[in-house]
């Protein structure tokens, strides 16, 4: 009788462990983004731009953090500052989790946006933000990697041109894989919600 009891207990233990395993697998958090799910696209893998110290930066430099990448330029009259303000508000909404996130603005106007100018511009929104610039060739390759459109729009004088560009927030996970694409006019609460799915 004791022998059967010990076998029964062992069997119940095995079944319990099996059910717990299944339960845990079944409880795996389903990721549902408010933005467009772009997992598997590998967008941004060829990012290679320069920071304010002149150091070349790639996705590998930011592994371990969720990245939010935005393409814009410092002379942008309204769209870019509005987008950066939303990102600044996003960081406030994330509270302590903000330290696990890196916001990067890549200029589409390297002719005017030096590393120092970019750093000054983005840090006015949040001290942790990073601004990247580079050569026209570096920008071309990086923009192609993200499928970003940009083009110079002539102004009244050679120095007063504008830049037409696509405006999106690219959210990449902690391994550097592109996961979410949000419209550039997305609100901070939406951006924060999708970031939290990756933390």
Instruction: Tell me the CA distances in angstroms from 20 to 10, 11, 23, 106, one per residue in order.
Output: 15, 14, 5, 46
Tokens of 42: 């590998």
Q: How far apart are CA 138 and CA 66, in angstroms?
A: 23
27 marked among binding-site residues:
no
Quote the distance between the C-alpha of residue 16 and its chain's center: 41
Q: How far apart are CA 59 and CA 80, in angstroms?
A: 22
Tell me the HSE value of 171 on the side-chain side, using a 13 A CA sphere: 27
Q: How many helices (H) and strands (E) does the chain have?
A: 5, 10
Q: How far apart are CA 22 and CA 3, in angstroms?
A: 29
Annotation: binding site for Cu cation: 76, 80, 165
């Amino acid at each position: 009788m004791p022998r059967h009891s010990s076998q029964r207990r062992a069997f119940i233990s095995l079944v319990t462990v099996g059910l717990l395993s299944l339960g845990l697998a079944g409880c795996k958090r389903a990721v549902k983004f408010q933005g467009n799910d772009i997992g598997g696209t590998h967008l941004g893998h060829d990012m290679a731009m320069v920071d304010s110290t002149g150091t070349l930066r790639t996705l590998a430099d930011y592994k371990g953090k969720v990245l939010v990448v935005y393409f814009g330029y410092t002379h942008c009259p309204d769209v870019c500052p509005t987008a950066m303000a939303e990102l600044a508000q996003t960081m406030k909404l994330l509270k302590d989790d903000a330290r696990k996130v890196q916001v990067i603005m890549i200029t589409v106007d390297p002719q005017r946006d030096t590393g120092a100018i970019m750093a000054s511009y983005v840090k006015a929104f949040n001290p942790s933000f990073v601004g990247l610039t580079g050569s026209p060739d570096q920008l071309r390759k990086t923009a192609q990697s993200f499928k970003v459109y940009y083009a110079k729009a002539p102004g009244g004088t050679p120095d007063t041109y504008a830049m037409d560009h696509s405006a999106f927030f690219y959210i990449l996970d902690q391994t550097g894989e592109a996961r979410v694409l949000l419209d550039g006019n997305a609100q901070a609460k939406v951006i924060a919600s999708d970031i939290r799915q990756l933390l």
